[in-house]
Structure 1
C-alpha cells in the first residue's frame, strides 16, 4: 500500500518524460496533476485506514535488497510521518497546479516535480537508515535543477549554494548513520534493530552532533541558514511552496526520528544547548525578516524563526512539546505555502516584490483586494492569532516546553511578537495607502490564481478551530516516542 505512493509519481514522470508523441505544455501539466492528485487521494485513504491508537509502524513493507550492505527495502508509517505524507502530497498538487502553463521545457519540469515528490515521500516512509539517506539524496538533484533552470537571475549561484550545503548535510548524516550501525554492532540499517542506547555517552554525543548539524542545515538553523533566502528568492513560486512547506520538514523530522528517538541520553545531555540554539534561531530569523524589503525574502527569513520553535519543543522532549513540534511542522507548511503563493501572485501581476515599489494593493478597483484579504489570513495565522492553526501549534509548543526550559520559552515567545511586526510592515507597505504609480495597470487576478490560496486558507482556519482533527492522528505516537522527558527535566535542574 505504501509503495503505491512511490510508483504513482514515478509512472507519471516516466509517462511525461518518455511519451513518444508530442504533447502540449498544458496537457503535460494536466497529466502531472492527475498522477499527483491520485497520490494525494491515496494518502487520504491511508489516513482513514490508519489506527492512531497503534503506535507501532503500520502498513509495513519489507523486501531484502542488498544483504552485503545490510540494506533492505523497509517502509512504514506512524503518527509522526502520516501528516507529513499528506502535506507533501497536497503541496505537490498545489505546486503543479500553480505552475505556469507556458513554462519552458514542460516535460522536464513536471518530471522533476514528480521525482522530488518521490524523494520526500520515500524519506518519510523509510524504516531503514540507509534507505532514508538514499531518498534524502534523491530529492537533492530535482530541486537543484528546478532552481538552476527555472529560477531567477542569480539562479546559478542560489542552486550551487543549496547543493553545497545539502551535500555537507548528507555527508554528516551518513557518517552518523554509519557510526550508529557499526558501533552498536548491528548487522543492518533497520531502525528496529538498532541498539544505540548501549553506546557510551561520549560516543552518542559525537553521533548526535553530526545529526544535529546535518539536519540543522536542512531545517535550517542559524548559522547554517544562509542558503535558504537565496534559494527562495531565485526559485519560482511553486518550488518555494515545496521548499518551505515540505522540504524543510525533512530536517525537523530527522531530528525527531533519528536524534531524539535513537540517542535519548545524548539528547538529554545536549537539551539545554539545543533550547538556547532555538532561541538564537527564532530571534535572529525574525530580526532579519524585519530588515527585508523583498517580500519573498521576508517570508523566507520567517521560516528560520518558526523552525526554531520546533527545535525548542524537541529539546524539551515532553509529550506535549513533541506533539506541538509536529503540529508546528504542519501549520508552518500550510502557512508558508500560502504566503509564498500570495507573494508569487503579487510578483506575477505587479512585476515586483519590492516594498518600496509595490504599494496600495488593497485598492478595490485597480488593486488586489482578494489577495490582500488572503494575505491578512496568512499573516494572522503566522503571528499566532487564536482561531488559526498557527496559534494552537505555537501554544502547545510553549506550554509543553515551559516546564523544562522556562527562560528559553519566554524569550522564544518574543518571536511571536516580532512575527506580527514584520508581517504588519509587509501589509502596511504593500497593501495599504495609495496605489503606487509604478503598478497602476495591474492585470486581472483570475480564480485559477486564487484557488490554491483559498484551499490553504480554509485548511488553516479549519484546523485552527478544530485542531483535534490533527492531534488525533499524532498524539499517541509522539507520546510513545517521548521516553526521555524525565531525563531531560532532571538534567536541566
Structure 2
C-alpha cells in the first residue's frame, strides 16, 4: 500500500517521458490522472489509518543489500501521514497550474512526478540509508526544474541550490554512518538505532552534523541564502512545491532523526536550538520588510515561519511537537497559496516589483479576486484567528513558552512583524489608484483561480476545525516524547 505512493509516480514519469508520439496535451492529462490517483490513494491510506495507534502502520520490509545493512523498510505514522497527503495535494496543484505552452512538457511533467516520488519515499523510509537515497533523489529533478524552466539567473540559482543540498547530504550521510559504526550496529533501520549508549560528546558531534544538514534544507539562518534565489528564479509551480513540501524534509528530519535518535544530546542543545529558532524568525521577518520583489518577500517569510518549527521541536513538549507537525501543514498550504497568487500577478502584469504595482484590487481593470485571496493569505500567515495559521502558531507558543519563555516571546515579535511586511505588500500592490503601468489587465482564467480558491477554503476549514489534522498526529507526537530520555528535555530546561 505504501510502495504505490512511490512507484506509481515513477511509472507515470516513465510513461510520460518515454511513450512514443505522446503529445503535450496527452502528457499533461496522464500526469494529472496519475497524480490524482496518488492523492486518492493517500486519502484511502488516511481512511485506513488508526490514529489511536502511535506505532508504525502498513509496514513493508524487504532485505535489500545485506552486506551494507540496507533494507527497503517503509512505514507511516502520525508524523509522516499528513505530510504525505500534503505532498500529493500540492504536486497535483503544481501540475494543474503549469502553463499549457511550457517548453519540453514531457520532460517537465516527468520531473514533477519523480520529485513527488522522491519526497514520498523520504517520508516513508524507516531505514537511514534508504531515507538518504530518497533525500538525494529529489535533488536531481528540482535542480533541473530550476535550471531549465527558471528565470534569467536560473543557472546561478540552480547551481547554488545543488551545492548547498549536496553539502547537506554529505553531513547527513556522515552522521548516519557514524551512528551505525560507533554504536556497533549492523543495520540502518531507524527503530534499532539509538545513540543512548554513546558518550555525550560523540552524540553532540553526530547530532551537529544532522542539525546543520537539515538546517540547510529547512533553511535556517545562516544557511538560508540559496532559498530566495531559488524561489525568485523558479517557475510558480516549482516554488509551490519548494516551499510547500520540500522544505518540510528538513523539519521532518529534525524531528524523526535529530530528536528521535539523539534525545540526550538534543536535551543538552535545546536552549541553543530555541535561540537559533528565534534568530531565524527575526532575521527572516526583518529581511522580508526590506524587499520590493513580492516573491522574494514571501521567500523570506518562509524562512521566518520555518523557525517556529525548530522552536517547537526544541521545547519537546506534547503540545509543541504536535504544533510542529501542524505548523508544517499550515505553512505548506499558506505558502503555496501565496506563491500561486504572486505567480498570477506576475503573469498578468509582467512584474513583481512593489514600486511598480498599485491598485490591483480595482474591481473593473485590476485583479479583484486575486487581491481578495491575497488578503486572506497574508491574514492567515499573520496568524489571524479563524485560519490555520493562527492555530499552528498558537500551539507553537503554547507548547514552547513554559520551557523557553524568552525565545518564545521573540518569536511572537516575529509574528507581529509578519503583519508588518505583508501589510506593506498588500498596501503597495493592491490598494490605491491603479498604476498606469498595469492598466487594462487581461482577465484571469478560471484555471488560474481554482487552485488558489481551493487552498483558501482549506486554510479556513482547518482553521475552524483543526482536529482534522491534529487527530491523526497527536498519539504519535505524544509517544515521541514519552521515552524517558526525551521526556527529560522540558523538565531539565524549564529549571
Normalising by the residue count of structure 2, what TM-score does the alignment of the two structures yield?
Answer: 0.99
Q: Counterparts of 1:367 and 1:16 in 2: how far apart (Å)?
A: 38
Q: Counterparts of 2:287 and 2:26 in 1: how far apart (Å)?
A: 42
CA contact (8 A) 2:16 2:22 kept: no
Q: Deviations over 1:385-422 (max 9, x none)?
A: 00000000000000000000011101110011000000
CA contact (8 A) 1:272 1:492 kept: no
Moved more, 439-448 or 457-466: 439-448
Q: Does 1:13 align with 2:13?
A: yes
Give the C-alpha shift of residue 197 in structure 1.
Answer: 1.1
Normalising by the residue count of structure 1, what TM-score does the alignment of the two structures yield?
Answer: 0.99
Aligned to 2:480: 481
Give the C-alpha shift of residue 11 in structure 1.
Answer: 1.0
Tell me which stretches of 4 or more aligned residues in structure 1 moved more than 6 Å: none
CA contact (8 A) 1:28 1:110 kept: yes
Give the C-alpha shift of residue 492 in structure 1.
Answer: 5.0
Q: Counterparts of 1:193 and 1:80 in 2: how far apart (Å)?
A: 19
What SS is found at the alignment partner of 1:403? Answer: coil
Q: Does 1:300 align with 2:302?
A: no
1:350-429 to structure 2, matched below 5 A, reads 350-429=349-428
Give the superposed CA RMSD.
0.7
Aligned to 1:310: 309
Q: Does 1:146 align with 2:132?
A: no
Aligned to 2:26: 27
CA contact (8 A) 1:269 1:488 kept: no
CA contact (8 A) 1:176 1:210 kept: yes
Q: Counterparts of 2:490 and 2:469 in 1: how far apart (Å)?
A: 26
What SS is found at the alignment partner of 1:245? Answer: helix
CA contact (8 A) 2:403 2:493 kept: no
Aligned to 2:492: 490
Q: Counterparts of 1:35 and 1:29 in 2: how far apart (Å)?
A: 10
Equivalent residue pairs, number:
492
Q: Counterparts of 2:230 and 2:203 in 1: how far apart (Å)?
A: 33
1:197-276 to structure 2, matched below 5 A, reads 197-276=196-275
Aligned to 2:168: 169
Aligned to 2:122: 123
Aligned to 2:339: 340
What SS is found at the alignment partner of 2:335? Answer: helix
Q: Counterparts of 1:401 and 1:485 in 2: how far apart (Å)?
A: 14
Unaligned runs of 5+ in 2: none
Q: Counterparts of 2:400 and 2:490 in 1: how far apart (Å)?
A: 11
Q: Deviations over 1:119-157 (max 9, x none)?
A: 100000000000000000000000000000000000000
Moved more, 439-448 or 458-467: 439-448
Give the C-alpha shift of residue 21 in structure 1.
Answer: 1.7
Aligned to 1:71: 70
Aligned to 1:459: 458
Q: Counterparts of 2:478 and 2:266 in 1: how far apart (Å)?
A: 17
Q: Counterparts of 1:489 and 1:373 in 2: how far apart (Å)?
A: 45
CA contact (8 A) 2:194 2:262 kept: no
What SS is found at the alignment partner of 1:261? Answer: helix
CA contact (8 A) 2:316 2:489 kept: no
CA contact (8 A) 1:52 1:476 kept: yes
Give the C-alpha shift of residue 447 in structure 1.
Answer: 1.0
Q: Counterparts of 1:286 and 1:243 in 2: how far apart (Å)?
A: 19
Q: Does 1:114 align with 2:88?
A: no
Q: Counterparts of 1:86 and 1:46 in 2: how far apart (Å)?
A: 9
Give the C-alpha shift of residue 7 in structure 1.
Answer: 1.6
Give the C-alpha shift of residue 491 in structure 1.
Answer: 3.9
1:82-101 to structure 2, matched below 5 A, reads 82-101=81-100
